[in-house]
Amino acid sequence: MVAKKPRIVIIGAGMAGLTAANLLYKATRSKDLFELCVVEGGTRIGGRIHTSEFGGDRIEMGATWIHGIGGSPVHKIAQEIQALHSEQPWECMDGSSQDPVTIAEGGLELDPSLVDTISSLYRKMMDFAQGKLIQANDEVDYYRIATKALQNCKRNGCLAELSIGSFLRQALDAYWALTIEGEDDKESGNWSRKLLEEAIYAMNENTERTYTSADDLLNLDFNAESEYRQFPDEEITIAKGYLSIIESLASVLPAGVIQLGRKVKKIEWKPQGLRSSEIDNGCDSKPVKLHLEDGSTMSADHVIVTVSLGVLKAAIREDSGTGRSHGG
């Protein structure tokens, strides 16, 4: 008898799913070790990466930037496949101005030193949240501000479920308590100094939301922020489109490995002890059964689920936490 190869099924043909498939397929002698299948609920690969065209220009409908090219595996692939340059116009970032001008509502041009001071405060507080801020001999005692903000959060009873948004607001209050006490809140036009500082701080918060795709920083877990790692150096777009990275990852896979329009409705797993009777009766002995939306099933030895956390949460709400999952 020839032993059947174990089957690995990957749910989702986005960046995570196709990266996993690419690495597994290129592994030493992978063709002889197992069968590989990627099931995607949608009609295209890429997931939240979706490069399109509008008016002759290449635009991104989803993921857009490589956030930091230093050590980034995405940047490495883009270099290898020569995707960073294109003759076709594309949605791009040409870099930041060396002398930016910040203007408040009403036309008031802000003093760059004020913008720099509050922006620096914001960055230092994010460094603290990410575990990167150390005590230093700065003109402003950022470490003291951050620890004071945490103390205030603890006093308010929100430390266990503290959000980034709550911490940042407490930090701004702690900064004001440290720097404005005893000073006049001078006005510039229709703006007080405090209102201007709050506006600059909010501007940085809104920028943070674009990086994290969060509707509200109150939804970001402070205690998990230190687990996040961001690559250093320049942030750039991909001239030939982010989809070129996806297509490169998928290009090594044989035809038929990726199956589109195959939405997974339920994953059924049977522990080894409960499979013995099935083996004795000659039934499929694979421990995992995938139920698809079209009514078909698929057996597997191993399943890698790469759908987004939002999709998983929605599925749990629909099925009261019994393990339902939707592919793609």
Tokens representing 215 are 């509707």
Q: How confident is the model at residue 324 (pLDDT cuts 50, 70, 90)?
A: very low
128 pLDDT more than 70:
yes
Q: What is the pLDDT of residue 256?
A: 94
Q: What is the pLDDT of residue 188?
A: 67
Q: Greater confidence, 240 or 286?
A: 240
Q: What is the pLDDT of residue 189?
A: 67
Sign of CA dihedral 9, 247, 82, 25: positive
What does the alpha-carbon distance between residue 23 and residue 123 come to, in Å, rounded to a whole number? 36
113 pLDDT more than 90:
yes
Q: Which structural domains are found in the chain, ordered by start?
A: 7-85+237-321 (3.50.50.60), 103-227 (no CATH)
**Look-up: residue for tokens 């793609």?**
328
- Collapsing DSSP to helix, strand or coil, 43 comes out as coil
165 pLDDT more than 90:
yes
**Look-up: residue for tokens 């994010």?**
126
Tokens representing 114 are 């004020």
2 pLDDT more than 60:
no
Q: How confident is the model at residue 170 (pLDDT cuts 50, 70, 90)?
A: very high
How wide is the angle at C-alpha 15 spanned by C-alphas 162 and 223, nearest 5°?
10
**Look-up: residue for tokens 């791009």?**
92
What does the alpha-carbon distance between residue 100 and residue 75 come to, in Å, rounded to a whole number? 27
Q: What is the pLDDT of residue 322?
A: 45
Q: What is the pLDDT of residue 32?
A: 73
Q: What is the pLDDT of residue 202?
A: 96
pLDDT tens digits along 206-265? 999 988 878 899 989 998 998 888 888 988 999 999 999 999 999 999 999 999 999 999
What's the half-sphere exposure (Cβ side, CA atoms, 13 Å) at 103?
5
pLDDT tens digits along 69-109? 999 999 999 999 999 999 999 988 666 667 889 999 888 99
Q: What is the pLDDT of residue 94?
A: 64
